[in-house]
Chains A and B, each alone.
Chain A
Amino acid sequence: MSDSHKAIIIIGSGPAGLTAAIYTARAELNPLVIEGEPSSTGDQPGGQLMLTTEVENFPGFPEGIMGPQLMADMKAQAEKFGAIFSTRKVSKVDLTKKPFEIWIGNPDEDSPTHTADALIISTGAQSVMLEVEGEKRLLGHGLSTCATCDGFFFKDKKIAVVGGGDSAIEEATFLTKFASEVTVIHRRDELRASKIMQKRAHENPKINFLWNSEVTEIIGSNSVEGVKIRNTITLEETELNLEGIFIAIGHKPNTSLFIDKLSIDDLGYIKTEPQSTKTNVEGVFACGDVQDHKYRQAITAAGSGCMAAIDAEHWLEN
């Protein structure tokens, strides 16, 4: 077989993909990790942790560790055992062929870029946008999906975070290092975030909450000047003046490559068998956030990456 053929290809390089790479590389399966391409969303090499600062709950780091550092270390560990990395994005897969076919770049090329006997999918998830007027136009001009990247530019400014989950509250807390005031805009009347994050936010004098509220428009000519808000109960519309707005309303799985090719649930996540990472196509395994809308933690992603490596290894042996 040619150089483009691999026993195992791993698509995606967050905690799930890199753990699968460490395990399959140690098993001398010479995995190729197609790690994705840089972007300012969670869909990028290293995954969503590349957009975080301190990770306090990954076991083994009592002092905490920076998200990008944790990912760089995981990659170095996989490379140490012989995993090969390609900083490209997969454009098409054919899972009906054996070996599986994978395209990078132009998906209309006749022959695939790579073929693989087993495939591990760990493409993760990325931020959901509000899909409201003004959002696309003002992205990077006061509207951001990455508090750690952009918080610095909002020193002594009045800003808002949209969302009520862990990432929203973590961002709001982080942003108080810079901003004069952070308003959390949430469409319910209580947070989904973990108790410890909630407590920190409630105790922070710079954070206030706008409950039962939905953003309907981002206002501003060259940069964000405010938002239009609708109360979800009274339907009353108001405007709030702001200089910055951060979106953290949740994530969607990166599964567009696999629609009609793998069994996918109503929310867009790849379906796996219980207690396993097997998909409905034999030899294709899925791990991490792309198949998990429940836990979505770095450590559970890493755990399922380990499971996928072991499942793939067994499958290749038989």
Chain B
Amino acid sequence: MSGAITNLSTENFDSEINSVNQPILVDFWAEWCGPCKMIAPILEEIANEQEGVIKIAKVDVDNAPELAQQFEIMSIPTLIVFNNGEPVKRLVGAQGKHQLLDALSEFI
């Protein structure tokens, strides 16, 4: 399924971020974070509905603390949009679907 969400690790992060020619939204999350779990189904919906427009990927901070440190994550969920491999937008905290779509309107 092409609308699927990719799991990024320290090893594949750079190559994945640079390999797509569309904006990619990376969700920094963890299993123990309640608000992260609440937005997970919303991100799945957006991945399917916006297939080909914006790609969605996830970083489990437990498995990739180096990435969390590199992007100075101090609160999760944090969503970072990358365009051409560069971080261009950062959203901290969980939010509802339409607020999220509003915040992403410049990319979709």
**A residues in contact (CB < 8 Å) with B:** 37-40, 44-46, 50-53, 67-68, 87-89, 105, 139-142, 144, 146, 148-150, 152-153, 223, 244
Contact = CB atoms under 8 A, between A and B. Distances in A.
B94 A39 contact: yes
A148 B74 contact: no
Interface residues of B, number: 28
Contacts of A67: 34
Contacts of B98: 105
A40 B73 contact: no
A146 B38 CA distance: 15
Contact of B75 (A45, A87, A89, A150): A150
B99 interface: yes
Provide the main secondary structure of the chain A interface: loop
B48 interface: no
B52 interface: no
Given A45-B38, A148-B33, A149-B33, A38 B74 contact: no
Given A40-B93, A87-B96, A50 B38 contact: yes
A40 B35 contact: yes
A105 to B, nearest CB: 8
Contact of A140 (B33, B36, B93, B97): B93
A148 B94 contact: no
Interface in B50-84: 61-62, 68, 72-78
Interface in B76-108: 76-78, 92-99
A140 B94 contact: no
Contact of A38 (B32, B35, B72, B92): B35
A141 B73 CA distance: 8
A46 B75 contact: no
Contact of A40 (B61, B68, B72, B75): B75
Given A38-B42, A44-B94, A87-B96, A149 B35 contact: yes
A140 B92 contact: yes
